[in-house]
Structure 1
Amino acid sequence: MPQMAPMWWTMLFLMFNSMFLLSNMLTYFIYNINNKMKFNKTLKNQMNWKW
């Protein structure tokens, strides 16, 4: 396997990091998950103890 220059390693590193961040941002902003209402309902149900 041929060796790469250090500048090419940094460019490869930056390219993969930017693709990773872009994919994370896309999945975060595309999917709109409304768990706030579900979380509050389950929290109220869990706290209703009858001893």
Structure 2
Amino acid sequence: MPQMAPLWWETLFIMFLLLYLIMNIMIFWTKGNKLINKKSLTKSFKELNWKF
């Protein structure tokens, strides 16, 4: 029969997983907002009718 891990190990592991998920969601959110801003910038640049 395997030895049971202490309760605080399990709570630390769960907290680590939650923080990891929150961090990834925040990174995804900031990258998503930057991509939206880049799309709007490229649209405004296309409307300027550059002559090279």
TM-score (norm 1): 0.57
Task: Determine if the alignment matches structure 1 residue 11 to structure 2 residue 21.
Answer: no
Distance in 2 (CA, whole Å) between partners of 1:2 and 1:23 is 33
1:22 counterpart residue number: 23
User: Structure 1 or 2: larger helix share?
Assistant: 2
RMSD, matched Cα: 1.5
Q: How many residues align?
A: 34
For 1:18, give the aligned amino acid. L
Distance in 2 (CA, whole Å) between partners of 1:3 and 1:21 is 28
Q: Unaligned 5+ residue runs, structure 2?
A: 37-52
For 1:13, give the aligned amino acid. I
SS at match of 1:4: coil
